[in-house]
Structure 1
Amino acid sequence: MYMHVNGQIVNEGEAHISPFDHGFLYGLGVFETFRIYDGHPFLLDDHINRINNSLKELHILYVCSRHEIEKILQELLYENGLRDARIRLNISAGAAPVGLQTSPYQRPNILLFMQQMIVPQGLQEKKGILLKTRRNKPETSERLKSHHYLNNMIAKREITANPDSEGIFLNEDGYLAEGIASNLFWVKDHTLYTPAIQTGILNGVTRQFVLKLAKKSGFVIQEGLYKIEDIGTADEVFCTNSIQEIFSVGEIKGIGSFQGRSGTGTSFLFEAYQTYRTLLYSRNEI
């Protein structure tokens, strides 16, 4: 596969950056993952806005533009012979002297690579596992999608690499937070519940999109601080992220069983999601 490294299209095996990159030495870097459908990047503006806000937070002097990212994506799709792909855009602080730098970083490393997507058809269902590992508090006022991923890695090791399961975090105060790689939702009596940003979760791009979609569709939306017993009485549970979109949760071990893929609210939002992005393709508006 070919990838983009600081303005160059290179074979992945030939890509390299400095070992003195503070993204490597100190974790000062952020990333976005998103999907391309038939040549169109979905919710690209939202991903660019989030990464730009994160770069400001880390004092990395770089601003992504839609034109720049679209150009790179089209070049890589052509070179790799793809139309559908999983994308990772990664921006790290760049090389600097060893030590904790307080001045802004002016020469970041910009990397973008893609992988071919093989996606099962239809709404998928997983089993939820309540994690012993607690969701740590974010380093900043709101969680960044940053290189600091040890909390997620420890949680993933706890449940092993089972693709049919998703670990669910409680935060350090015992409130429901999010999945290892997803945001958490549940439905009861046509009300859609999800943990608030104040629990320390990542404010996922797909999370925000699904909340808007649900509100337009007539759901009552409740964001708040919830305990385990609050989700135990739910009719439906589902999770979201930019790669898997929406997937249902049939049970959470030790908590309860739910309607899974047969849940009407989850199925409705899944179909609405598919319809929305398909309409955007046809209008070339993504």
Structure 2
Amino acid sequence: MLCWFNGNFIDEKELFISPFDHGYLHGIGFYERFRTYNGQVLLLEERFNRLCNALNNFRIPMPYTIRDIQNVIKELWLAASREDSIFRVNVSAGETDDTLAPKYKNPNVIIYRIPLIERTRGLEKDAMWLKTTRNSPEHSVRYISHNFGNNILASFEVQNLETTEGLLLNSKGHIAEGITSNIFWSRDDILYTPSLTTGIIPGITRQWVIHTAKRLGYRVIEDIFFQHELLHAYECFVTNSIEELVPISNIGRTRFLGEEGPIYKRLHQAYIEEIIQLMKRG
């Protein structure tokens, strides 16, 4: 597999990082993971800015521009015979003195692709509450980082993530998010989603849904919620950058409208239209 490492295209077998990189030693590394549509990335600027915000807070420089990243993705897409894929842009802190006040000057930046197994749009999943608790973020906002252990522990509770999403509560018992997603539900034409104060990832697709729902005239409430409030919803869906908007059919014995949910259907169609416009621009 062809990868891009610190400015050069190399084969994956030639890609090595020092064990003294703080991404390995201390988990100081951040990434963005998304899919392409005809070689284009939806909401790339928002994803790049989220990555840079995380790096800035840990005083890690980003040596490349969004245009650089865009060009690399296009080259890897072309090298894969124009096959749309999942891409990961990974930035680890790099080697430095093992001190409590490190100065990160030479981060390691890797971009690579993973084959995309496309899921049928609108295909429902079921969901289940997990025993694993969503851990608290180390910063006021949770970053997508190398510290992914909490999600891995949660995934052990789910037999098949292709058909089931595991839902996490935080340490206070508030609804947080899915293992790989943000969560929404609706009742009486009002769309609900957990607040960022619950410790969830500020998903890019999540933010798109919030903005689009408001534009379409829906009231959106971001707040702190308990399980019983979701269980009284009419419809429920989850979002992420790979699977897009996924309707939830049930949580245990509680059933929802699934793919027939009216708010889900309207937002899902708007998301497809956004993708079509992106592909036209490409």
TM-score when normalising by structure 2:
0.96
| Structure 1 unpaired stretches of 5+ | none
> Secondary structure of the residue that 1:139 maps to in structure 2?
coil
Residue 259 in structure 1 maps to residue 250 in structure 2: no
Using the TM superposition, give the Cα deviation of residue 101 of structure 1 relative to its aligned residue in structure 2, in angstroms: 4.0
Q: Tell me the equivalent position of 1:281.
A: 279
Which residue pairs with 1:203 in the alignment? 202
Which residue of structure 1 lines up, in the alignment, with residue 182 of structure 2? Answer: 183
Q: 1:52, 1:63 within 8 Å by CA — same for their partners in 2?
A: no
Q: In the alignment, which residue of structure 1 is the partner of 2:269?
A: 271
Residue 9 of structure 1 deviates from its aligned partner by 0.7
Post-superposition offset of 1:153: 0.5
Give the corresponding residue for 1:69: 69
Map of 1:126 onto structure 2:
125
Q: Secondary structure at the match of 2:131?
A: coil
Retained in 1: the 8 A contact 2:40–2:74? no
Distance of 1:216 and 1:233 partners within structure 2: 25
Residue correspondences, number: 282
Q: What SS class does the counterpart of residue 248 from structure 2 fall into?
A: strand
Matched, 1:43 2:34: no
| Secondary structure in 1 matching 2:242 | coil
- Partners of 1:220 and 1:36 in 2: CA distance: 31
CA–CA distance in structure 2, aligned partners of residues 188 and 277 of structure 1 = 27
Structure 1 residue runs of 4+, over 3 Å off? Answer: none
Aligned equivalent of 1:240: 239
Indicate conservation of the 8 Å contact 2:87/2:111, yes or no.
Answer: yes
Q: Choose 156-165 or 193-202, whichever is displaced more.
A: 156-165
Give deviations 1:111-164, integer Å, cap 9, x for gaps: 000123231332121111101111010011110111111110000011134410
Q: CA deviation digits over 1:169-226, x for unaligned, max 9?
A: 0110000000001000001111110000000000001100111111111111000000
Distance 1:52 1:64 in 2: 10
Question: Mapping of 1:106-255 within 5 angstroms?
Answer: 106-253=105-252
Distance of 1:13 and 1:112 partners within structure 2: 14
Q: Could you say which residue in structure 1 is the equivalent of 2:2? A: 2
Offset at residue 83 of structure 1 (A): 3.8
CA 1:7–1:241: 2 relative to 1, 3 Å: same
- What is the CA–CA distance in structure 2 between the aligned matches of 1:192 and 1:61, rounded to whole Å? 38
Q: Residue 52 of structure 1 contacts residue 64 of structure 1 at CA under 8 Å; is this kept in 2?
A: no
Partner of 1:45, secondary structure, is helix
Q: Is the 8 A contact 2:165 2:179 kept in 1?
A: yes
Task: For 1:92 and 1:101, locate their aligned partners in 2 and report how far apart those are by CA, in whole Å.
Answer: 17
Q: What's the counterpart of residue 34 of structure 2?
A: 34
The secondary structure found in structure 1 opposite 2:270 is helix
1:226-280 residue CA offsets vs partner (Å, 9 max, x unmatched)? 00110011000000000000001111125x1111112121111111100112123
